[in-house]
Amino acid sequence: MKHILSLVFAVFATSAALAQQDADAGLDGMIFSADEINLSDLMWIKRPLVVFADTPADPRFVEQMGYISERLDALEERDVVVITDTDPEARSDIRRELRPRGFGLVLIGKDGVIYLRKPAPWHVREIVRSIDKLPARQRELRERPAADS
């Protein structure tokens, strides 16, 4: 009986570890560094949410990334990919294109249009509301199969 109980415990512990790895993989699949991704590759596929700072230690950057990591599921549901750029010296293509000054939050639609620029951290609830008002998102909601509702 003790051996069976030990075996059951081992199976549950392994399952929990695998589930955590899957959750971490999802996080890695949504958050990219600016030097890892090209905005043109996301056109009509994803909505880039770009978070700029002059250093990863910027309190506004830390606060914004905390908000994002708490509600990553809401962003994933809206086809958002988060791009971070905390190195102004690297002069990434995204930084040259969007030209931030210090901290900045930029939401780009699937069509490549900049829909939101904020100089301070925003809660995901507010970002999601802005996304849900976009014409493309409204169309996605209308065209979604009834089974998803």
Q: Would you list the domain boundaries of the chain?
A: 30-148
Q: How far apart are CA 67 and CA 27, in angstroms?
A: 13
Q: Determine if the pTM surpasses 0.75.
A: yes
Residue 19 pLDDT > 90: no
Which range has the worst mean pLDDT, 13-27, 100-114, 127-141?
13-27
| Mean pLDDT on 136-148 | 82
pLDDT at site 145: 80
Question: Could you report how far apart the first and last alpha carbons of the chain are, in Å?
Answer: 46
Quick: pLDDT tens for 110-128.
999 999 999 999 999 999 9
Read off φ and ψ for residue 49, nearest 5 degrees: -115, 105
State the sign of the Cα–Cα–Cα–Cα dihedral 114, 118, 121, 126: negative
Residue 133 pLDDT > 70: yes
| Strand-pair category, 80-85 with 31-33 | parallel
| Mean pLDDT on 74-96 | 96
Q: Is 52 exposed, middle or buried (0-12, 13-18, 19+ CB in 10 A)?
A: buried
CATH T-level assignment (fold) for domain 30-148: Glutaredoxin (3.40.30)
Residue 7 pLDDT > 70: no
